[in-house]
Homo-oligomer: A and B are copies of this chain.
Amino acid sequence: MTTRREHAEQLDAADQLAPLREQFQLPPNVVYLDGNSLGALVNQVPDRLADVVTRQWGDHLIRAWNEDAWWQAPIRIGDRIGKLLGAGPGQVVVGESTSIQFFQALTAAARLRSGRRLVLSDLNHFPTNRYLAASVARLLGLEILEVSADDLQAALREHGSDVCAISFGAVDFRTGALLDIPQITEAAHSQGALVVWDVCHAVGAVPLECDADQVDLAVGCTYKYLNGGPGSPAFLYAAARHHAALDLPLTGWHGHADPFGMTHAFEPAEGIAKARVGTLPMLSLLALDAALDVFDGVDLTAVQTKSQDLGDFFLECLADLLNTTPELGVVSPRRATRRGSQVTLSHPEASPVMAALIARGVIGDVRPPGLLRFGWNSLYIRYQDLLHAVEALETVLSEGEHRRPEHQVPRLVT
């Protein structure tokens, strides 16, 4: 009979994506299962960034805006991200944080359907989307109705012609559940509403098809599966068919038709450039640019398949522990095709359990209420890593390591 260890080794040996791991600088003795929160460092980033700092900024100084094409970077890099979104060129721009992009996108969606007063918003949305949706609603005089994806069809039937926009997270940040993007988008359109997708927990892990699925607007971050670095700039996708009428609230000078004309009134640029706002943090932006090289030539369908297989393997390995530990539960969908690239478990002592795992070099995170998140970037995570994580969890729980005093200390960032 094959042991778990042998099985993991066989799966790793057969993994076509395995060589990609060499493109990352992963610390020794760490199994990193928080790439869904902050991606790992890509080999070429330090040297590329050093060049940006010393040669472009240090030597070229202000001339770098022209000579090193800094000005064009948000659109150029947006197009690179667009390839991972299934978006043709000229529909994605990199910009300030996801929170800012969401504010832009939802306001624009509501204005494109002015007269309609209701936003249907994901009951399980990442908090910042909920908070900003409330702000948009207050500014525009809208109402928000929070619904789960399961209840969306009924809500659309009830409120159809009142609904200006719906907004969902493509992958639930807590459970890792992957929503049916084309189906939900089509449901919104059938009632004349627009859809704003948050793809933070999907981009780079799941092959998205924004153009083919007729997505209207999407926002996402680049520091999770795209490995852009801590807080690397976010992006906004707006389908070309909406560009002419797109009416954005953050009318910064970079979005002007003639930014250096410095004319009196705002006149939006053509195309996605109108969604630019202010001067972006070029060091973080160009670190992201270097990190994106990893995706050149990578088939996201293969990445997704590996993620699903990793998840199935993780759950297989966990089966005994789950059977013998009634307080440990599986929160993520059991069906691989319903998951993003993450499996979430529940445990009443999630925080100290995760602290004990981190002390053992297995890094995931926790989310309320009592959720242990294990996310993986299939570009660098191996089957043996997930087995190691399961073994660590088995040891932590069997030895009661999570009860030790040093693991009771709350951390600021969880």
A411 in the interface (beta carbon within 8 A): yes
Q: Which of B27, B41, B229 contacts A282 (CB 8 A)?
A: B229
A65 near B413: Cβ-Cβ < 8 Å: yes
Q: How many residues of A contact B (CB 8 A)?
A: 85
Neighbouring B residues of A49 by C-beta, 8 Å: 49-50, 53, 283
Write the nearest CB–CB distance from A315 to chain B, whole angstroms. Answer: 23
Cβ contact of A66, chosen from B126, B256, B411, cutoff 8 A: B411
Contact A54 B46 (CB under 8 A): yes
Instruction: Say yes or no for A70: interface residue by CB 8 A criterion.
Output: yes
A100-B278 in contact (CB<8A): yes
Restricting to A262-312, which residues have a CB under 8 Å from any CB of B? 262-266, 277-285, 287
Contact (Cβ within 8 A) A27 B263 = no
- Chain B residue numbers with a CB within 8 Å of A281 are 229-233, 281, 283-285
**With A46-B53, A261-B368, A266-B131: A71-B413 Cβ-Cβ less than 8 Å:** yes
Answer yes or no: A212 CB below 8 A from chain B CBs.
no
Pick the contact of A58: B27, B65, B96, B140 (CB < 8 A).
B27
Query: Do A57 and B71 have beta carbons less than 8 Å apart?
Result: no
Contact of A229 among B45, B251, B283 (CB under 8 A): B283
Binary CB contact string for chain A from 402 to 414 against chain B (1 if under 8 A, 0 otherwise): 0000000001111
Q: Tell me if A135 counts as interface (CB < 8 A to partner B).
A: yes
- Determine if A98 is an interface residue (Cβ-Cβ < 8 Å): yes
Contact of A61 among B30, B411, B413, B414 (CB under 8 A): B30
Complex Cα distance, B251 from A49, in Å, reads 32
A215 contacts the other chain (CB 8 A): no
The answer to whether A266 and B134 have CB atoms under 8 Å apart is: yes
Chain B residue with the shortest CB-CB distance to A223: B279
User: Using a CB-CB cutoff of 8 Å, which residues 34-64 of chain A contact chain B?
Assistant: 34, 37-38, 40-41, 45-46, 49-50, 53-54, 57-59, 61-64
Say whether A360 faces chain B, with CB atoms less than 8 Å apart. no
Interface residue from B25, B62, B97 paired with A363 (Cβ < 8 Å): B62
Which of A131, A135, A259, A287 has its CB near the most chain B CB atoms (within 10 A)? A131
Known A134-B266, A252-B131, A285-B231: A61·B38 in contact at CB below 8 Å: yes
A357 to B139, CA, bound (A): 48
Which of B38, B126, B260, B266 has a CB less than 8 Å from the CB of A414? B260
Please list the 6 inter-chain residue pairs (A to B) with the smallest Cβ-Cβ separation, ordered nearest first: A97-B278, A281-B284, A99-B278, A99-B252, A65-B413, A230-B282
**Other A-B pairs, 20, CB within 8 Å; known A50-B50, A131-B252, A233-B281:** A25-B58, A30-B61, A38-B57, A38-B61, A38-B62, A40-B58, A40-B61, A49-B283, A65-B412, A71-B412, A99-B250, A100-B252, A130-B264, A130-B265, A131-B265, A132-B251, A135-B266, A229-B281, A229-B283, A231-B282
